[in-house]
Amino acid sequence: MKEILYLAVPKPETMNKVISTFICLLFLLPGACKQEKASDDNVIIGKIDKIHSKILDEERTIWVYVPKGNPLGAEQKFPVVYLLDGEAHFYSVMGMIQQLSEVNGNMIVPQMILVGITNTNRTRDLTPTHVESYAQLDSAFLKPSGGGEVFTSFLEKELIPYVDSVYPVLPYRTLIGHSFGGLMVMNTLINHTDLFNAYIAIDPSMWWDDKKLLEQSADVLGKKDFKGKTLCLAVANTMAQGMDTSAVLSDTTKGTEHIRAALVMGRYLEKNTKNNLKHSFKYYNDDSHGSVPLIAEYDAFRYIFSFYRPDIDFARMEDTTYMIDSALNRYSEVLTENFGFPFPAPESFINMLAYNYMSIKMYDMAFKLFDMNIRNYPQSPNVYDSMGELLMNKGDTTGAIRNYEKSLELSPGNTNAKQMIAKMKE
């Protein structure tokens, strides 16, 4: 089944050879991007789920977005993004993931599940150590602080296992946090490194508790092996007018403590180049503490998943050996290497390429690609539906019916397969 619209432009001198460059119009078919709608016509972008935590002794609410995946309903599995302060950032991060992973055929990042963790007691959960007093913060605000390690235990022993058991997840996890949330992201990376694969710390409060975590980070970053881990650190401009990043580092006033500590954290990252931590550190001069999350998350996603977009020379599309061996097989190897587990080329991407070849009657190449999808995604009804269409176009009615029937077996609601089988049996 076609998941996208495409346009193949042949060379002027021949209609029988594959084009030197494919111009693909990657617009999803109508309905593919629609979010589920409730009966009252509200647009639903996710679900509210709850989990009772014995560790925290309370009910915790999470907001969950799961990509639509295959239009025929096959279960796909996805990496997971865990988002602190979920009620504040869920909408924007969810939209960003969808935009970068599927809208207009984008493959900047993979489709991913988003788990927004809403707060009950933010100061308690997002601070790793207890502080009795600090500057102008009142004692009532500080009193519950220091529950970060208990909260981390909740993540590790209750929330992540729950999400793994209920939702279609792959074992690649990203943690995002802003401000106190960024502090918790850094604490998790330093003290619970293997809990997540990628970490996004946005303008983190590294000043907390007389920079205790900052000092610990300086030591750990110089000794620990962070192979397979990625960190994106973003710092906003919270300086007074007239100051720059050089001047602020030598300042000693409380007003610059936040940005000073975060900038020093960035220096520690740049200094320790032998710990195998893949990292980016970016200062956003034009963004405040409140505005920086959106652009920082966008940049972080692009950095973390820089390997995900296929590195293929589409001018060599007619070279089928190159496309299969040097391009697509290598692409799968790159994905597997970076994710850390077998990760074949995405089904929708291979499906798109196969339809392009089919449109110019390069049926052998289309067959190889559709067959690749069948081998990689044997439980997807769409791969058999697509192969059925190819074989029908080639005149192989028996083979086409067999594949459409397999698609129907996996997805009984596939009306396209029913119609094609009926048509061929007339």
In angstroms, the CA 85 to CA 74 distance is 32
Residues 6+ apart with CB under 8 A from 169: 77, 78, 79, 80, 113, 163
Q: Is position 312 within any domain? A: no
Q: Which domain holds residue 275?
A: 47-304
Q: What is the pLDDT of residue 227?
A: 96
- List of the chain residues with pLDDT < 50: 1-38
Q: Is position 338 within any domain? A: yes
33-56 as b/e: b if 16+ CB within 10 A: eeeeeeeeeeeeebeeeebebebb
- At 339, list the tokens: 């994710």
In angstroms, the CA 315 to CA 36 distance is 39
Residues forming a β-bridge with 114: 65, 81
Alpha helices by DSSP H, 168-311: 180-191, 208-221, 245-249, 257-271, 292-304
Q: Is position 39 within any domain? A: no
Q: What is the pLDDT of residue 383?
A: 95
Q: What is the pLDDT of residue 174?
A: 98
Same domain, 150 and 294: yes
Same domain, 345 and 393: yes
**How many CB atoms within 10 Å of residue 426?**
4
Residues 6+ apart with CB under 8 A from 305: 108, 109, 110
Q: Is position 36 within any domain? A: no
Q: What is the pLDDT of residue 72?
A: 61
Structural domain total, the chain: 2
- Cα end-to-end distance, the chain, whole Å: 21
Q: What is the pLDDT of residue 46?
A: 92
In angstroms, the CA 205 to CA 221 distance is 18
Q: What is the pLDDT of residue 136?
A: 75
Same domain, 184 and 300: yes
Q: What is the pLDDT of residue 12?
A: 34
CATH of residue 282's domain is: 3.40.50.1820
Q: What is the pLDDT of residue 158?
A: 98
In angstroms, the CA 84 to CA 200 distance is 11
The number of residues making up the chain comes to 426
Same domain, 104 and 216: yes
Q: What is the pLDDT of residue 314?
A: 83
- Burial class of residue 418 in the structure, from the number of CB atoms within 10 Å of its CB (0-12 exposed, 13-18 middle, 19+ buried): middle
Same domain, 396 and 339: yes
Of residues 140, 89, 115, 122, the one with CA closest to residue 205: 122
Question: Among the three residues 281, 304, 327, which one is the final residue of a domain in this structure?
Answer: 304
Q: Is position 296 within any domain? A: yes
Q: Is position 417 within any domain? A: yes
